[in-house]
Chains A and B, each alone.
Chain A
Amino acid sequence: MITFDKVNKYFNQLHVLKDVSFHIEAGEVVVVCGPSGSGKSTMLRCVNRLEKIDRGEIVVKGVNLNAPTSDIAKLRAEIGMVFQHFNLYPHLRVLDNLILAPIKVRGVSREVATDTAMKLLAKVGIQEKASAYPSQLSGGQQQRVAIARALAMQPKIMLFDEPTSALDPEMIREVLEVMVDLANEGMTMIVVTHEMGFARRVAHRVIFMDEGRVIEDEKPEVFFSQAKDPRARVFLSKILSHI
């Protein structure tokens, strides 16, 4: 479903992705972790080409992202993305946040889009907030709306960039619940997170990044108990003791 082959990316002189390679099958849930600045967000943003790469190759759903002929907007519409700071549209009500892309990108009728949106809001447990503005919701509710907005495009892949790290502890769980449900439904997911409980529960693999490289790419049980690289072990001891 997603293949990175020796991907390299620079921000001016700064080499942020170094020969990043991995392959993710349909239905896999992959958790990505690593220290701040290790390139996790950048890697994730390459999957839907919010960032362009300088060398290497990325193939998503059979589409080569480097090829100038690729219809990136069409591909993006099939890849949902959830951001750390939600990025809901503040000027639109919750329902309108959900139906904008289906109507304007897919050309779905307003009635059908509204119907789908209400079902998704029910699924993430906030249908009663359909006519509220994002600023009237708690952080956990906003993030659930953001997930529903991404799902409204019926994506085949979902990307999460630290979806719970801007949330208060009591709201983290309600968002993780939604993500666990999604994982159990067989969604292909890449989740950048330090929620190791989530990784243990639903991840098929954990990718550990440091200084722009993939250091570990293991099953969770292997990663947690017998990470080979000392950097991964230091990272794990820090974040597990922190929780």
Chain B
Amino acid sequence: MPRAPAALKPKDAFVDWSILWQYRGAFWSGFTVTVWLSAACIVGSTIVGLLAGCLGSLPSFFLRRLISAYTELLRNIPLVVKLFFFYFVLGIPGIPAALLALTLHQSAYVADVVTAGIRSIARGQVDAGLSLGHGYWQIFRYLIIPQMLRIVIPPMTSQYVAIIKHSSVVGLVAVQDLTFQTQEINVATFRGFEAATATTVLYGLLALAMIAAMAALEKRFAWR
């Protein structure tokens, strides 16, 4: 349960960085939970989002409405409320509830990115494919999907960083991620200043690593 953080202004207090070393085990375990939880949700929301985005781009009115209802619903309910719904209402344990809430939440945004990516592909590509005798499925498979995958890399980067950031709420259902551990350390030592500083740096490094990895991926698949 969230507790009120101890008000400890750095100027008033003697700063003691040694607690970081003392609690390295807690930091490390929180950090690994954040990393694997984020990684799993990145994979999950990419799969679900790609599927939803592709289905929503097919020339079917019904599918388009279905997918847009899906994304609207998920985007308009706060992440924490979804988390509570799975945990308290459906009674799913903390970790699966967190995985489910984060994955579904971000999959709606990924689906939008995918839909926009497909829409941005020039109409002329379909014309060219049709004129050469390809059917719609081949055009989707060999022209639309590969071009879309390349186009969505930059906007996907911010989606993935968002997952890392949003994963910080999972402590609310007792998943012991980095943010949860930080709070625990603060409660135990009243060293919120030191702990939160270290945590900020760790989240920053994670985001930077994500951005660098995606930039490398973008370069790897460059056409120009």
Contact = CB atoms under 8 A, between A and B. Distances in A.
Interface of A: 45, 48, 50, 73-74, 76-81, 83, 85, 87-91, 100-101, 104-106, 133-136, 149-150, 153, 159
Given A90-B147, A91-B146, A135-B223, A101 B133 contact: yes
A135 B147 CA distance: 14
B127 interface: yes
A150 B224 contact: no
A90 B133 contact: no
Interface of B: 122, 124-125, 127-128, 130-135, 138, 142-143, 146-147, 150, 223-224
Contacts, number: 69
Contacts of B124: 83, 85, 87
A133 B128 contact: no
A39 B124 CA distance: 18
A134 B124 CA distance: 15
Nearest to B121: A90
A229 B122 CA distance: 38
The A interface, classified by DSSP as helix, strand, loop or mixed, is mixed
Q: 4 smallest A-B Cβ distances: which pairs?
A: A77-B133, A81-B131, A87-B124, A101-B132
Given A105-B134, A135-B224, 6 more contacts: A74-B133, A81-B131, A83-B128, A100-B142, A104-B138, A134-B223
B131 A136 contact: no
B144 to A, nearest CB: 10
A215 B131 CA distance: 28
Given A104-B138, A136-B224, A76 B128 contact: no
Nearest to A85: B124
A79 B224 CA distance: 30
A159 B122 CA distance: 20
A81 B223 CA distance: 24
A81 B124 CA distance: 11
B27 to A, nearest CB: 43
A133 B138 CA distance: 21
Nearest to A80: B131
A102 to B, nearest CB: 9
B133 A133 contact: no
A114 B8 CA distance: 72
B127 A50 contact: yes
Given A89-B143, A91-B147, A133-B224, A76 B135 contact: no
Nearest to B138: A104
A92 B125 CA distance: 12
A64 B146 CA distance: 35
